Amino acid sequence: MFLSSATAVAWAAEDARGRSLVQNEQPSGYDEPLRPQFHFTAKKNWLNDPNGLVSYDGEYHLFFQHNPEKPDWGPMHWGHAVSTDLVHWKELPIALYPDELGTCWSGSGIVDRANTSGLKSGDEDPILLFYTAAAGEKPASQCLAYSNDRGRTFTKYSANPILPHIVATNRDPKVIWHEPTKRWVMALFKDGNTYALFSSTDLKSWTHLHDLEFPGCGECPDLFELPVDDNPKHRKWVFVGGDGSYLLGSFDGKEFNRESGPHRADYGTNYYATQTFSNIPERDGRRIQMAWMRGGTYPGMPFNQQMNFPTELSLRTFPAGIRLCRVPVREIASLYGKEQSWKNETVTPGTNLLEGLKGELYDIQAEFDLGDVEELRLELRGQAISYRPAGGKLTCVGQTCDLKPIEGRLKLRALVDRTSLEVYADDGRAVFSFCFLPAAGEPRYELSAHGGSVKVVSFRAVELKSSWR
Ligand code: FRU
């Protein structure tokens, strides 16, 4: 196994007004053998869903379901981390603690720029968090907390809950701003496969709009609009369920009308409870998503569970219809180290182009001209990827999706960390997220062709530095 020494380096950035952000010395100790090196983990103990994702004044806030006492799920708090680039995170003190209404389950965050809530008390715009008070003596309800100091401290709203119990363990409020109707909208999971939408003008009192069914899905809703094929005049609304699958349709501020879906968003085994950031500045304009890589195991580690690497979402048109695509955010380049690359190489049976790769962490970007090959095989740290162009089947770590070659070609991108592999095929048309336990010994990489040869149009393997140092 690969062990590196603990070093602590100060890293800093400035906000739009020249104030320094996240200046504290990054603590060492994020280098245990199974500690992800560029995926977020809690310094200690359990995490699950990303919560309250919001951008404010040059900082991204990542809150997360957290049990600060044990490396297992338990009484939920909201852990908190900030970043100026979505790559380097600094864990801050816990933002929300359980109270007499219950423990703090999942939810979302927004910046109330126009102070519609009336909760602003200083020069900063208030950041509002919406969460579920659950697992208490009372049935689950939706609550509000706010910060007037750039998310450094949060106060629970005195008249909580803002939305009393409706049914079962109703939960996971996702609040968005709907510009055309100038109202706030909340998507809420009710029970089974049912979600509900509510609207509000002050973020404190909410009116029921309608219920919607999401076949096969529950928990953690998200709702946002995206242009199709980068055309600002052609837009669709996306309603996302707990496992990341999504419905496409229209939304007029009152009713979400499903036009297609559910569509699967990930073909791997470790992708759950997705959420996108609120208040990304317009000049940036990206829709950025994070997810919990549910189900990874980290024996002997002081932490448990990791987030995925943040991705940028887009809608693109394919022969089967419009689909959501997902690629890693470009900021990953801040971790780039040594690069090895190949162009126009032919891979024939019996050769391994990647014999020289020895690194532990990689961003790999490749394009193949598939020629007459029966099967193209890649092995990244022991995790097998196989593509069979004839049947149009891409298999990663035993999970398969249909993916026909485009003009005889296949593009693959892979992020390799100590305990996870994320594979993005054809610019994010199909994504696979996996956690794995690395085998002992030097990391192994292999690229081989079977039953014919493949032309490597380009293959770029960039070693990544740890985001914790
Ligand atoms: C999803 C979920 C949410 C809930 C939270 C509790 O993983 O079950 O529905 O709010 O986790 O930790």
Are 247 and 257 spatial neighbours (Cβ–Cβ below 8 Å)?
Answer: no
Residue whose CA is closest, atom 6 of ligand 1?
105
- Annotated catalytic residues are 49
274 CA to centre of ligand 1 in angstroms:
11
Q: What is the pLDDT of residue 281?
A: 98
Mean pLDDT (the chain, rounded): 94
- Pocket test residue of 142, 220, 307 for ligand 1, highest count of atoms within 8 A of CB: 220
220 and 106 in contact (C-beta within 8 Å)? yes
The answer to whether 133 and 160 are in contact (CB under 8 A) is yes
Mean pLDDT calculated for residue range 336-358 = 94
Residue with tokens 């109703």: 170
pLDDT, residue 15, reads: 39
Question: Helix (H, G, I), strand (E, B), or coil: what is residue 332?
Answer: helix
pLDDT band at 415 (very low <50, low <70, confident <90, very high): very high
Q: Are 385 and 462 in contact (CB under 8 A)?
A: no
191 within ligand 1 shell (Cβ under 6 A): no
Cα R_g (the chain), whole angstroms: 22
Residue 130 tokens, joined: 């919406």
Residue matched to tokens 């109202």: 183
Higher-pLDDT residue of 14, 266: 266
240 CA → ligand 1 middle, Å: 15
Lowest mean per-residue pLDDT among 11-25, 103-117, 235-249 = 11-25
CA distance 164 to 172: 13
User: Does the pLDDT value for residue 9 go beyond 60?
Assistant: no
Ramachandran sector of residue 324 (left: φ over 0; alpha: ψ -120 to 50; beta: rest): beta
Alpha-carbon gap, residue 170 to 370, rounded angstroms: 49
Q: Is 133 in the pocket of ligand 1 (CB under 6 A)?
A: no
Structure tokens at 265: 């968003």
Is the shortest distance between the CB of 51 and ligand 1 below 6 Å? Answer: no
Q: Which atom of ligand 1 is nearest to the CA of 272?
A: 7
285-312 mean pLDDT? 98
CA distance 121 to 430: 46
What contacts 19, CB < 8 A, 6 or more positions away? none
- How far is residue 371 CA from its own chain's centroid? 35
Whether the CB-CB separation of 106 and 272 falls below 8 Å is answered with no
84-130 pLDDT, tens digit per residue, is 999 999 999 999 999 999 999 999 999 999 999 999 999 999 999 99
> Is the pLDDT at 12 greater than 90, yes or no?
no
158 within 8 A of 196, measured Cβ to Cβ: no
Q: Which residues have C-beta within 8 Å of that of residue 135, sequence separation ≥ 6? A: 75, 76, 102, 103, 105
In the numeric block, which tokens belong to residue 111? Answer: 């910046």
Residue 330 DSSP code: G
Whether ligand 1 lies within 6 angstroms of the CB of 106 is answered as yes
One-character DSSP codes across 251-315: E-SS-EEEEEEEE----SS--EEEEE-B---TTT---EEEEE-TT---TT-SEE--B---EEEEE
Q: Ligand 1 pocket, 174 CB below 6 A?
A: no
DSSP 56-114: ETTEEEEEEEEESS-SSS-S-EEEEEEESSSSS-EEEEEEE--BTTBEEEEEEEEE-TT
The gap from C-alpha 140 to its chain's centroid, in whole angstroms, comes to 26
Q: Which residues neighbour 113 within 8 Å (Cβ) at sequence distance 6 or greater?
A: 125
pLDDT of 8 over the 50 cut: no
pLDDT in tens, 58-71: 999 999 999 999 99
Under the banding of pLDDT at 50, 70 and 90, the label for residue 28 is low
Return the pLDDT at 414: 98
pLDDT tens digits, 196-231:
999 999 999 999 999 999 999 999 999 999 999 999
Q: Please name the residues in contact with 141: beta carbons below 8 A apart, sequence gap of 6 or more.
A: 101, 102, 132, 133, 160, 161, 163, 164, 165
Nearest residue to 241 (alpha-carbon basis) of 259, 213, 220, 271: 220
